[in-house]
Chain A
């Protein structure tokens, strides 16, 4: 009798828990209430399927609909191999301008997950947000992009609460936090000199264009890693183009090229399925540019490559580990980004990151 009662109570409690409203605060500080925990989400940027993979081994099961940006990447092929059903997830169009509110609503998500900044609908899509809310679909904002180190943990925690996958969310947060703490504590304790870094974003994609982070985004990666981004002096926004002469005149000590697979044949290539040889060859080609070849960083072989899409990814911590190690090899001798990647793949990702996501050419 007592046993039965216990059982009934626990079932009731469990049921109650499940159907209880969830109240969360998103990264914009908006308080959002879901009538019940979400089972299906609408992704404002398809690439956040990777974020969902941190929380769930079958991330596609959590997606009601998504924008098609992720479908244009090589990573998608990896996901598709494991989960052919991803092909059937409804898409809501391409980017913010092509976003179909009707497809979004028709896919009946429990919650919409939008990025504060990015290629999908953002906070400025007020009309869309009110349409979704009118259809009973609350909208929460996550962010790995405008304030990566402030917002990554709250974003993961938010998704954990919304989807009631708190345990995995907290496990990732621990993984992330310990690594970030290590870097920030060393930097703040030792206060090393900050060498000048030229980050050649999307390097070589157009021969004579020198894109660089400005005061935002990847600039924060470099700052966190104890470096000084030369682009921050010239560019007011998150990214921009630098005058080639400016780059030379700043005499950068460290050169980091970023790239993705879409620049294959033109510029620096990194990412899923890319071999280290291909990456190295693509960077070597870029180094032949007469302006780059005169940089002290290149002459002293302080040349590195980084996957471009870390700029908007919860795995930004891996990029920061790399940059820290590159800038201050003596201070961060014990940091091992490769080990971090292995751990990430083993512990969290059912679709592991396989390919070349960074490369060091300082040997």
Chain B
């Protein structure tokens, strides 16, 4: 009541707008998360077998009453697939967001510096030559190798950039060099592979959510849960980095350390995803992009928004793949592109209209 006695100043209006903006951003994240949940529910009730919603619900909440087939479809096929879609979307999109900030490049993705090429090399080593570390069970050697090489490639990248005291450009150039090297090594392996093994490597590198099972879902969930708090803890520093390296340093940020820890998180997220489902491109580029258009680059909002956007796009892609070619499995990367590109173009067009 007292306030109304004063005339509202420009400052009051600005403060009020800022309050509204923060609320709006939170709301967008909540809505995206709700959309993820709805999409997940749709994902759970779509599939080539004509299970009714009632049957799915029965199998979910009254598992004992469901027959074997329904139970397996709901719990062993649909559920891990649907959860994996959300997790992979979150992991890759968050990794993409971090990468775009530390490389100061909106076109960067988690795979820019060779993580997926390294993972493919690891998988090819396992598939073609059966090479892995001892003590890894046969079911896991492909995933394990993929993860190991992906992670090792980032460490190598770090090492070189530290030795040479290199900046972003050198880091990117070295990453690109790694991509070419790994691709060449994979091609070399192709040369010694039998045609059947070769086909398997190609299938692997295309990426598929169908590789999900509960163990992989759990592992990826652990990775995402373990990494996210560190990401969120760095959100002010990452936002400050957007104000330029000099300003960020002036604000007391050790940029090299920030980049290193961020790259570690990126490599964990990207390596784990790529190890379990293969290379799914695009999501790590477009998830953060859509999120940026929706909530801007205050990383407190942008990181979570990227996660839920990525999860949503992946989940929609999962549904679309089941509707597009019922029965068959489309490489999910194709579907993410099919689903994501229209959304992406729409947002860019809308933004272009606004700025005009």
Contacts of A15 in B (CB 8 A): none
Given A209-B208, A235-B328, A241-B208, 17 more A-B residue pairs with CB atoms under 8 Å apart are A202-B196, A206-B203, A207-B213, A208-B212, A235-B327, A241-B203, A241-B329, A242-B328, A243-B48, A243-B210, A243-B322, A243-B328, A244-B76, A246-B326, A248-B77, A291-B72, A308-B196
Of A181-189, A260-268, A349-357, the one touching chain B: A260-268
Does B302 sit at the interface, judged by CB under 8 A? no
Instruction: Kindly state the separation between the CA atoms of A214 and B139 in the bound complex, as whole angstroms.
Output: 26
Does B115 sit at the interface, judged by CB under 8 A? no
Of B22-30, B33-41, B167-175, B187-195, the one touching chain A: B187-195
From known contacts A246-B49, A249-B48, A249-B49, infer whether A207 and B139 are also in contact, taking CB-CB under 8 Å: yes
Distance from A224 Cβ to chain B, minimum over Cβ atoms (Å):
23
Cβ contact within 8 Å between B76 and A290: yes
Cβ contact within 8 Å between B327 and A262: no
Cβ contact within 8 Å between B328 and A245: no
Does B106 sit at the interface, judged by CB under 8 A? no
The SS class assigned to the B binding surface is helix
Residue of A nearest to B46 (CB): A245
Cβ contact within 8 Å between A234 and B72: no
Cβ contact within 8 Å between B200 and A205: yes
From known contacts A233-B327, A246-B48, infer whether A209 and B210 are also in contact, taking CB-CB under 8 Å: yes
Cβ contact within 8 Å between A290 and B72: yes
Query: Which A residues between 287 and 307 are near B, CB-CB below 8 angstroms?
Result: 290-291, 294
Cβ contact within 8 Å between B77 and A245: yes
Distance from A74 Cβ to chain B, minimum over Cβ atoms (Å):
10
Size range of the chain A interface in the assembly: 35 or more
Most buried by B among A208, A291, A294: A208
Distance from A260 Cβ to chain B, minimum over Cβ atoms (Å):
6
Cβ contact within 8 Å between A248 and B203: no
The SS class assigned to the A binding surface is loop
Contacts of A241 in B (CB 8 A): 203, 208, 210, 328-329
How many residue pairs bridge A and B at CB < 8 Å? 109
Contacts of A206 in B (CB 8 A): 142, 200, 203-204, 211
Does A94 sit at the interface, judged by CB under 8 A? yes
Most buried by A among B77, B138, B142: B77
Cβ contact within 8 Å between A244 and B142: no
Residue of B nearest to A265 (CB): B138
Does A119 sit at the interface, judged by CB under 8 A? yes
From known contacts A73-B194, A248-B77, infer whether A209 and B203 are also in contact, taking CB-CB under 8 Å: yes
Contacts of B198 in A (CB 8 A): 95, 119
Contacts of A265 in B (CB 8 A): 130, 138
Does B325 sit at the interface, judged by CB under 8 A? yes
Residue of A nearest to B47 (CB): A245
B50-78, CB under 8 A of A: which get 1 and which 0? 10000000000000000011001100111
Distance from A180 Cβ to chain B, minimum over Cβ atoms (Å):
26
Does B197 sit at the interface, judged by CB under 8 A? yes
Distance from B53 Cβ to chain A, minimum over Cβ atoms (Å):
15
A182-220, CB under 8 A of B: which get 1 and which 0? 000000000000000000001001111111000000000
Query: Which B residues between 189 and 237 are near A, CB-CB below 8 angstroms?
Result: 190-198, 200, 203-204, 208, 210-213
Does A69 sit at the interface, judged by CB under 8 A? yes
Contacts of B138 in A (CB 8 A): 265-266
Does A72 sit at the interface, judged by CB under 8 A? yes
Query: Which A residues between 255 and 283 are near B, CB-CB below 8 angstroms?
Result: 260, 262, 265-266
Distance from B127 Cβ to chain A, minimum over Cβ atoms (Å):
8
Distance from A283 Cβ to chain B, minimum over Cβ atoms (Å):
15
Give me 13 A-to-B residue pairs in the complex whose CB atoms sit less than 8 angstroms apart, sorted by A's number.
Answer: A94-B191, A119-B198, A205-B200, A207-B211, A211-B203, A234-B326, A243-B326, A243-B328, A249-B73, A260-B196, A262-B196, A291-B76, A308-B196
Cβ contact within 8 Å between A243 and B329: yes
Does A98 sit at the interface, judged by CB under 8 A? yes
Query: Which A residues between 109 and 123 are near B, CB-CB below 8 angstroms?
Result: 118-119
Contacts of B329 in A (CB 8 A): 210, 240-243
Instruction: Kindly state the separation between the CA atoms of A248 and B72 in the bound complex, as whole angstroms.
Output: 9
Most buried by B among A95, A243, A290: A243
Contacts of A251 in B (CB 8 A): 69
Distance from A73 Cβ to chain B, minimum over Cβ atoms (Å):
7
Distance from A118 Cβ to chain B, minimum over Cβ atoms (Å):
8
